[in-house]
Amino acid sequence: MTTPNSLSRRTFMTGLAGAALIGAAGCSPAQQQAQSSATASGSAASATITVRLWDEQVQKAYDASFAEFSKANPGITVKTSLVPWADYFTKLRTDVGGGSADDIFMMNGSYLQPYTSGSVIEIGSDFDSLKADWVPPAVEQYTLGGKLWGVPQLTDGGIAMYYNKKLLDDAGVTPEQVSSLVWAPGGGSADTLLPMLQKLTIDANGKRGDESGFNGAKPKQWGYSAAQDLQGIYYNFIGSNGGQFQDADGKFVFAGPESVQAFQYIVDLINKYKVSPAASNTNDNGDFTRDQFLQGKIALFQSGVYNLKNVADGAKFEWGIVPMPAGPKGAVSVVNSVIVCGNAKSKSPEATAKVLQWLGAQQGASFIGKSGAALPAVISAQQSFKDYWAAQQVDPSQFAKQGAMPAISAPAGANYGAAFSAWKPIFNEIFLGRTEVEAGLQKAQDAANKAAGS
């Protein structure tokens, strides 16, 4: 996920071989109930259901899944549409308000709440036979007012670091050495992250960041991917320093002293020590650090399982995964899941329900896992993800290990989008080094709370 948020977790048998498809005798009671209802009304006998997504890799998996679904449900055609993340929620709000939204759409927790007042359907008793197979944190995250508002699809175990083995070798650094890095507010002897990043950073003249004469204004290679990346970077620094972004009531509190220290550390990595790309490259391009990593220009890329397929497909060098740096409170990561919601104004409600049930069952969800695109939030489909990566000789377990550790809650709120729009330009200036961190965060916090009405 990129800006605002994203996805990961477990085991069990998976795969479609021998599995009962929706429409066959082995389908769940919930599926049977939906089928009976559809047959009785006739509205699901022939329908085209549209599904809106923001992730191209997941879209490919969905297309394969829906091809199988339509074999068992020949009267229902399912089509996917891709809307880039940068425009996704702006366009969704407009389309839902105008009555032109898709039958099903992917949803991030930060943006859900406004849609629960009549725009999306409750995931009710028709799904009871499936719910026990959904990762509990995802169900908890998307249950508001005692009601579940979507079918869990993707889940993130947590954040870790991808490393470029050649760049480590060139610096005389081993993967084991970058597996236990620690950052400390203000640096000092307790800080092992900054010295490592300086060793892994090189300027155009071949000087490393810890050598005399280093010129960070002319970079050749960066040690790290520090950037204005909520999920990949700054939420985790805040959490590992014992800070908060929002309190229990959803009020923004990111100007607290622990968060100020976390942001100051990140901004210094970029502007003072120049071990990460300039914010002029990353503030408005959430893929810049990933792309630079894939081009062999960043040694340590901190991100989630949502970039695993991108790294595996794009990296032309030996790479691996190690834990993210720990702070004073340990390695505390943000964990987030993604759901699909049913449009309450769909013209084909019974067919929409059948597609949602397919996506919430092992059969449909396994396509996500066996494509390697993401870890399904349907537990029995997760083995397909493990099997895919085992065949690629990749061990993604570090994400799940991080997900089992203490976490900082993902952002949420009825007016999160408005709050984000309010703080973003101020954050831009902070990361560019043009606004002092403490004063800037207070200004951004005030603007965010005003925009959110809190």
Express each pLDDT in 282-322 by its tens digit: 999 999 999 999 999 999 999 999 999 999 999 999 999 99
Q: Label residue 404 by pLDDT band (50, 70, 90).
A: confident
Q: What pLDDT does 45 receive?
A: 67
Q: Which run of H or E residues covers position 204?
A: none
State yes or no: pLDDT of 38 exceeds 80.
no
State yes or no: pLDDT of 30 exceeds 60.
no
> pTM for the whole thing?
0.79
Q: Give me the numbers of helices (H) and strands (E) for the chain, helices first please.
A: 18, 14
DSSP string, 419-452: HHHHHHHHHHHHHHTSS-HHHHHHHHHHHHHHHH
State yes or no: pLDDT of 23 exceeds 60.
no
- Burial, 66: exposed, middle or buried (Cβ in 10 Å; 0-12, 13-18, 19+)? buried
Per the CB < 8 A criterion, the answer to whether 296 and 167 are in contact is: yes
State yes or no: pLDDT of 29 exceeds 60.
no
Q: What pLDDT does 5 receive?
A: 33
State yes or no: pLDDT of 39 exceeds 80.
no
Query: What CATH superfamily is the domain 29-156+336-407?
Result: Periplasmic binding protein-like II (3.40.190.10)
Place of tokens 């550390």: 265
Lowest mean pLDDT among 9-13, 101-105, 179-183, 213-217: 9-13
Q: What stretches of 200-348 show up as alpha helix (H) in DSSP? A: 235-240, 257-271, 279-282, 288-294, 308-314
Fold of domain 159-335+415-452 = D-Maltodextrin-Binding Protein; domain 2 (3.40.190)
CA dihedral 345, 349, 352, 356 (to 10 degrees): 100
Average pLDDT of the residues in 145-149: 96
Ramachandran sector of residue 111 (left: φ over 0; alpha: ψ -120 to 50; beta: rest): alpha
Decide the pairing of beta strands 151-155 and 337-342: antiparallel
Q: What pLDDT does 417 receive?
A: 85
Closest CA to 200 of 188, 216, 182, 184: 216
Closest CA to 163 of 153, 173, 149, 151: 173
Q: In what order do the strands lie in the sheet with 47-53?
A: 76-82, 47-53, 104-108, 337-342, 151-155
* Per-residue tokens: 428: 């831009």
* Per-residue tokens: 112: 């859900």
Q: What pLDDT does 44 receive?
A: 54
Per the CB < 8 A criterion, the answer to whether 42 and 75 are in contact is: no
Question: Could you tell me where in the chain the CATH 3.40.190.10 domains are found?
Answer: 29-156+336-407, 159-335+415-452
Q: What pLDDT does 134 receive?
A: 95
